Amino acid sequence: MIGEVIVIGDLKLRKNAALDEYNRLGERMYDIVSRLPGFVSVKSFKAADGEEITLFRFASEEALEAWRRHPDHVETMQRGHAEFYASGFLQICKVIREVGPFEHS
């Protein structure tokens, strides 16, 4: 949708990251973000070489900003940098044009 904001996350975990705790926190964050107004979706994709990309979709910059400033999310992001992530980046993109949806028969 035009105006939608998409966050592309490419985050690499540390070799010694506690995966059970990481997954628990991920589920908790999804429970919170999925109830916020303006959240659209989150999907992860893994390439054959192991690289994983996550796409977060929000209806607006305001919706993304509400998530970015949510106290539980802020705390979890700090833990992510301190305990789980070795490296990575986030890119924040705004949809300026859209083609479709379409179907071929």
**pLDDT (tens digit, 9 = 90+) per residue, 8-63?**
999 999 999 999 999 999 999 999 999 999 999 999 998 887 788 999 999 999 99
What's the pTM value of the predicted model, to 2 decimals?
0.89
Classify residue 16: in a domain, yes or no.
yes
Is the residue at 63 inside a domain?
A: yes
Cβ(27)–Cβ(100) below 8 Å: no
User: What pLDDT score was predicted for residue 80?
Assistant: 95
For residue 48, tell me if it sits in a domain: yes
Inside any domain, residue 11 = yes
Residue 82's pLDDT band, with cuts at 50, 70 and 90, is very high
Q: How many domains does the chain have?
A: 1
The reply to whether 102 falls in a domain is no
pLDDT at site 41: 98
Report if residue 101 sits inside a domain.
no
For residue 23, what are the domain limits?
A: 5-94
**CATH code of residue 21:** 3.30.70.100
Q: Is residue 50 in some structural domain?
A: yes
- The answer as to whether 52 is a domain residue is yes
The residue behind tokens 């994983």 is 52
pLDDT at 61: 97
Residue 75 pLDDT greater than 90, yes or no: yes
Q: Report pLDDT for 48.
A: 85
Q: Closest Cα to residue 63, out of 86, 93, 40?
A: 40
